[in-house]
Amino acid sequence: MTSPNLIIFYVKDPSESTPFYRDLFGREPAFASPNFVAFALDNGLSLGLWRRSSVEPQPSAIGNRGELGFMVEGTGAVEQHYRDWKARGLPIAQELTTMDFGPTFVVLDPDGHRLRVCEPDK
């Protein structure tokens, strides 16, 4: 079976989004061009940032239709990430709260993509 290994966000300008993700991931992009930037992640996944105006075929809509999730393990790990990301000045879309699946919060990237931190499914 083939497993997905690339998530792509359509962004206004990859050069504007790259510093956000460089700081968040603590690493340089694995690939960078004027229209596409990719970050290789430790789990084998890559995150691509593709200039919206160069996407083919063009997307039919823009908006929050999904989230990039960061499942963090350990007692207080979600809260620790919340304090760290808030201190970095990342825009908070959902303050730290407890939902059916446990503690969670959501921040936004420069293009409004939702990044959710939560605990792993048990």
Compute φ and ψ for 93, nearest 5 degrees: -95, -30
What pLDDT is stored for residue 62 in this prediction? 65
What pLDDT is stored for residue 46 in this prediction? 97
What pLDDT is stored for residue 59 in this prediction? 81
What pLDDT is stored for residue 114 in this prediction? 93
Whether residue 67 sits in one domain with residue 53: no
Whether residue 87 sits in one domain with residue 36: no
Number of domains in the chain: 2
Q: Could you list the mean pLDDT of each consecutive 10-residue stretch along the chain, which spans 122 residues?
A: 88 96 97 97 95 89 80 94 97 96 95 94 74
Q: Which residue has the tokens 């620790």?
A: 80
What pLDDT is stored for residue 69 in this prediction? 94
What pLDDT is stored for residue 63 in this prediction? 65
Whether residue 48 sits in one domain with residue 72: no
Whether residue 70 sits in one domain with residue 21: no
Which DSSP string corresponds to 29-87? -SEE-SSEEEEE-TTS-EEEEEEGGG-SSPPS--S---EEEEE--STTHHHHHHHHHHH
The whole-angstrom separation of Cα 82 and Cα 77 is: 9
Whether residue 54 sits in one domain with residue 14: yes
Whether residue 33 sits in one domain with residue 9: yes
What pLDDT is stored for residue 15 in this prediction? 97
pTM of the model: 0.88
CB 51 within 8 A of CB 16: no
Whether residue 117 sits in one domain with residue 67: yes
Return the DSSP state at 96: E
Return the DSSP state at 89: T
What pLDDT is stored for residue 61 in this prediction? 74
The whole-angstrom separation of Cα 43 and Cα 100 is: 26
For residue 29, count CB atoms less than 10 angstroms from its CB and return exposed for 0-12, middle for 13-18, buried for 19 or more.
buried
Range of the domain at 5: 1-59
Whether residue 68 sits in one domain with residue 19: no
Whether residue 87 sits in one domain with residue 102: yes
What pLDDT is stored for residue 2 in this prediction? 80
